[in-house]
Structure formats: C-alpha cells, structure tokens
C-alpha cells in the first residue's frame, strides 16, 4: 500500500494528526503536509478538521473503503504465500466471549496446538457484538455467534450446539412435582437433558422465583425475555450481570435462579443446584463459525475449523452414548 494511504489510514484510525504522527514516527506538520498534498491530488478534502476527533468527509469515506479493500487483498496474498511455503505453519487469531473461551475453546485449542504446533495462536476476548465489529474490520480470522443479526453479515457455517437450562438453588421451596422433574449435575453431564424422555417444564412454574439475568445486549438475555413473554409473566429480577459464568456462581450460592449453558455444567458441576429443561425452543442454541468476507481463507483457519468440528463430533457423541 502506498505511503500516503498508510498515513491517511492512520489518521482515520486515531482521529488525530498528533496521535497518528507519533505512531508513524513523523512530525505533526510533516504528516499534515502529506495528507493535504494527497487531498490536493484528489481534488477533495478527506477529513472534516472542524470536529474533534477528526471525522471523514464523504470523499474520505470512499477513500478509506478503497484503502481497506487494498489492505484486505494484501493480507489475503500474504496468507496465501505463507501457505504455499509451508502448510503446517501460519497464524490464527480467534475471538471469543468469556464463556466460549473458558468452557469450549481452552480444550479445543489445546488439542489443536498439539496437532499443529507450528501455527501461532492469538485469542481475543470480548462481547459477541464487539467481536463481530472486529471481524468486519478483519482484525480477527474468525469468531462464533448464535445471534442471527451477526450470522447473516458474514460467511458462516454451523459449529456446535449448547442447551440452556434453568439452574435453581437446591434449598428453594418447590413443589414435590416440580422437584421430581429436576435434573442433577450428573444427569446433565450424562446428557439426559437432551433425551426425548426428559420432561420439559413450563417456565410459568417458576414465576414466583427471583431471577439472575444477563444484561441487555447478550444473546441469552434476549432469549430469556422471549421465554418470559412466552410464559406470560414478567420476572422478578434480582440482578443483571455481564458474564454467564458469574450468573452460574451466584445461583450456586443461593442468590437466585439463572439461565445457564449445559456446557458450564459439563465443566464445573454443582450439587447445590437443581437443573430444569424448559419447554421452549429458545433453549437450543446453534453457534456458527463466522469468517470475514474474503477471497482467500488461510490453511490455518481451515485446519482449525476442521479440527473444531472433529472435536465436537467426538465429545458430544460420547456424551450422548
């Protein structure tokens, strides 16, 4: 990419000539002069200098789109040449939420690294919404989501399921009939909650409980609200948290009922909780692997996706046997 394009892109990213000059190891006047010369060549201003931070003009937006297309092409070419040199090496940058990184990717990446020791791994942790934005900017090679608004924006393919259960502190007053439909952590680990014989309990049976929910913007929050609407009642919300794992721990300590993923129970079972399979289609989540729209997919990315599908196939099938 041409030098002036690099200069302008850095100013765009930082929203400041001063900050961009520091990163480019230039003086601020030298950088300003280079940008103005490019604007003169184009016959249009690229930045609105009356705003702080700097914003792009319409011409600037078109210019940045063109620069990003060039950057993506250069990146694809670089990855393809790396693959031609050696298919057992490469780079892989994965984005995951705290839940996915802790309870899924840690074990998957451990096995993947043993099979492909030459591939350099980088993992970023953030919310699914912010990870989707980073994927769009091609800062990541892949991420995961079960949210339709993210899935439809990217190249995607099915990766794995998880199943939402209602976790209720064991000491909670419940009817004998309701306790009879409860699952233990051992039941969940054995996959009994996914069998056809498992009783699906209407959420309305729990309308008197206090709930620990996740915060707005989380896919499980949206699903929880949908289930409450299906059941015809507004929940008594004890608190709203940002992390699924925290909600599980709080429920485990008797602070309220919480919707949790079965995959957390697989890893950290609790004998202080009762688990209920809820009668709603919202409890079944299919996560997709999301990839940015690109002309070339690196060998490291393809190898990881193949390994991921292999790993889930083996482990999930073993749990159902």
Do 131 and 197 have their domain in common? no
Q: Is residue 321 part of a domain?
A: no
Do 243 and 309 have their domain in common? no
Q: Is residue 77 part of a domain?
A: no
Do 87 and 98 have their domain in common? yes
Expressed as residue numbers, the domain containing 113 is: 82-160+288-315
Do 265 and 277 have their domain in common? yes
Do 172 and 263 have their domain in common? yes
Q: How does pLDDT run across 296-312, given as a tens digit for each residue?
A: 788 889 999 999 999 98
What local confidence, expressed as pLDDT, does residue 224 receive? Answer: 97
Do 299 and 156 have their domain in common? yes
**Total of domains in the chain:** 3
What local confidence, expressed as pLDDT, does residue 314 receive? Answer: 83
Do 184 and 237 have their domain in common? yes
pLDDT band at residue 86 under the 50/70/90 scheme: low
- pTM flag (> 0.75): no
Do 122 and 189 have their domain in common? no
Q: Is residue 184 part of a domain?
A: yes
Largest pairwise CA distance in the chain? 80
User: Can you give the CATH number for the domain in which 171 is found?
Assistant: 3.40.190.10
Provide the 3-class DSSP secondary structure of residue 202.
coil
User: Can you give the CATH number for the domain in which 29 is found?
Assistant: 1.10.10.10
Do 140 and 254 have their domain in common? no
b/e 250-277 (16+ beta carbons within 10 angstroms → b): bbbeeebbbbbbbbbbbeeebeebbbbb
Q: How does pLDDT run across 190-202, given as a tens digit for each residue?
A: 999 999 999 999 9
Rounded CA separation 70/111 (Å): 35
Do 240 and 179 have their domain in common? yes
φ, ψ dihedrals at 156, nearest 5°: -150, 155
pLDDT band at residue 320 under the 50/70/90 scheme: very low
State both tokens at 64.
């940045």
Do 214 and 153 have their domain in common? no
Q: Is residue 320 part of a domain?
A: no
Q: Is residue 267 part of a domain?
A: yes
Do 215 and 235 have their domain in common? yes
User: What's the N-to-C CA distance of the chain in angstroms?
Assistant: 55
Does the pLDDT at position 315 exceed 80?
A: no
Check residue 142 and report its DSSP letter.
B
Q: Is residue 279 part of a domain?
A: yes
């Amino acid at each position: 990419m041409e030098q002036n394009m690099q200069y302008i892109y850095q100013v765009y990213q930082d929203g400041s000539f001063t900050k961009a000059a520091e990163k480019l190891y230039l003086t601020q006047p030298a950088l300003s002069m280079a940008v103005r010369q490019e604007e003169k060549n184009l016959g249009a201003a690229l930045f609105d200098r009356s705003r702080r931070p700097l914003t792009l003009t319409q011409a600037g937006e078109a210019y940045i789109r063109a620069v990003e297309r060039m950057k993506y092409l250069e990146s694809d070419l670089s990855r393809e040449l790396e693959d031609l040199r050696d298919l057992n090496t490469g780079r892989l940058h994965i984005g995951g939420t705290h839940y996915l990184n802790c309870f899924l990717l840690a074990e998957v990446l451990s096995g993947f690294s043993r099979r492909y020791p030459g591939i350099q791994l980088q993992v970023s942790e953030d919310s699914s919404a912010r990870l989707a934005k980073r994927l769009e900017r091609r800062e990541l090679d892949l991420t995961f989501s079960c949210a339709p608004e993210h899935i439809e924006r990217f190249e995607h393919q099915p990766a794995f399921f998880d199943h939402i259960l209602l976790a209720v502190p064991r000491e909670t007053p419940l009817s004998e009939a309701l306790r009879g439909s409860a699952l233990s952590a051992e039941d969940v680990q054995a996959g009994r909650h996914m069998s056809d014989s498992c009783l699906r309990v209407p959420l309305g049976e729990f309308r008197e409980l206090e709930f620990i929910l996740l915060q707005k913007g989380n896919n499980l929050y949206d699903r929880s609200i949908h289930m409450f609407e299906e059941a015809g009642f507004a929940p008594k919300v004890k608190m709203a948290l940002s992390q699924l794992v925290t909600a599980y721990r709080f429920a485990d300590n008797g602070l309220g009922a919480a919707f949790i993923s079965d995959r957390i129970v697989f890893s950290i079972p609790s004998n202080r909780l009762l688990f209920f399979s809820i009668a709603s289609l919202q409890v079944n989540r299919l996560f997709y692997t999301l990839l940015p729209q690109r002309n070339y997919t690196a060998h490291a990315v393809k190898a990881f996706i193949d390994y991921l599908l292999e790993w889930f196939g083996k482990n999930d099938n073993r749990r159902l046997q």
